Amino acid sequence: MIKMKGVTKVYTMGEVTFSALKGIDLDIRTGEYVGIVGPSGSGKSTLMNIIGCLDIPTDGDFHLDGRPVGTLSSNDLADIRNKKIGFVFQAFNLLPYATAFENVEVPLLFAGMKGKQRRARVIEVLLRVGLADKIGNKPTEMSGGEMQRVAIARALANEPEIILADEPTGNLDSKSGAEIVRIFESLREAGKTILIITHDVNIAKGTERIIRLKDGLIESNGDML
């Protein structure tokens, strides 16, 4: 599903350059549940952004589902983000003026799904994350756990094969965090490929494989906690 060979990422700011990834080799199979851990600045988020097609590598090969990502147009990348990948961010990243329903509806609208089918799909995924009663609520009217569940529902809306989560419980209390962990476990059981950046031991324990990054390189691949 995800194959990387010698992937590097160098950021240039004026005359200063910074190598966030220094040559990553990675192979993630369909249906794997992978945890990515490492200290701050180790390159976890950069790796996640590249896998999620939010950023492009400076060098190296990256194939997603057999397609060479480096050769794809911006519209192709947008379609991959829309249909193949679901993002869950630490800061939720919901549209503040939109209701839970509308937030979940956005990726379906970009996918061109028609009205009736789209509405049914939004309700289905909101039910799946236990938010049937919050459909009309805006983010300001929801708790952190509820917002993250809306974000997960949004990530699931187009039935993507891959879920990328960057510290999904980082901004939540332990009870809400536990609820999110349970949702991820159910997604794993449903056969999704899941990559989670986390410092949460409870999440990391549940993964099949841990990839540990340090200074832009993979320090270990496949360790268990």
Partner 1 sequence: MIPLLSVKQFFNDLRRQKLRSLMTMFGIFWGACSIVLLFAFGKGITEAQLKSMRGMGENIAIFWPGITAKDFQGLPKGRRVRPTEEDIVLIKQKARSINRISPEYQRWSINFRYGKQSTIRQISGIWPEFGPMRNVTPRMGSRFINDKDITDRRRVIFIGNLLAEDLFGEVGPVGKEVLLNGTPFMVVGVMKTKKQDSSYSGRDSRKGFIPATTFQTMYSNRHLNCFVAQCKPTSSMEITRKEIYEILGAKYRFDPTDREALSVWDTTRSFAFLKNFFLAFNMFLVGIGVATLITGAIGVTNIMNVVLEERTKEIGIKMALGAHKSFILWQFVFETLLITGVGGALGFAFAWTIVALVPMFNLEEYIGVPSVDMWSGITVTIVLGIVGLGAGVFPARRAANLQPVQALKLF
Applying CB under 8 A, does 178 fall inside the site for partner 1? Answer: no
Residues 85-114 that bind partner 1 (CB under 8 A): 87, 89, 93-95, 97-98, 102, 105-107, 109-111
Q: Which of 221, 216, 220, 222 is nearest to 6 (CA)?
A: 216
Out of 34, 62, 81, 121, the residue judged to bind partner 1 by CB under 8 A: 81
Out of 3, 41, 55, 137, the residue judged to bind partner 1 by CB under 8 A: 55
Torsion sign across C-alpha atoms 97, 152, 162, 54: positive
Angle between helices 144-156 and 115-128 (to 10 degrees): 130
Applying CB under 8 A, does 42 fall inside the site for partner 1? Answer: no
Surface-to-core class of residue 61, CB atoms within 10 Å of its CB (0-12 exposed, 13-18 middle, 19+ buried): middle
Applying CB under 8 A, does 82 fall inside the site for partner 1? Answer: yes
Report the nearest approach of partner 1 to the CB of residue 195 (Å): 15
Task: Pick between residue 195 and residue 206 the one whose CB is nearest to partner 1.
Answer: 195
Strand partners, 19: 10
Report the nearest approach of partner 1 to the CB of residue 62 (Å): 15
Q: Compute the distance between CA of residue 152 and CA of residue 89 in angstroms, rounded to an integer.
A: 9
- Stretch binding partner 1 (CB under 8 A), from 46-54, 173-181, 182-190, 203-211: 46-54
Residues 139-158 that bind partner 1 (CB under 8 A): 154, 158
Task: Pick between residue 64 and residue 206 the one whose CB is nearest to partner 1.
Answer: 64
Surface-to-core class of residue 55, CB atoms within 10 Å of its CB (0-12 exposed, 13-18 middle, 19+ buried): middle
Residues 112-141 that bind partner 1 (CB under 8 A): none
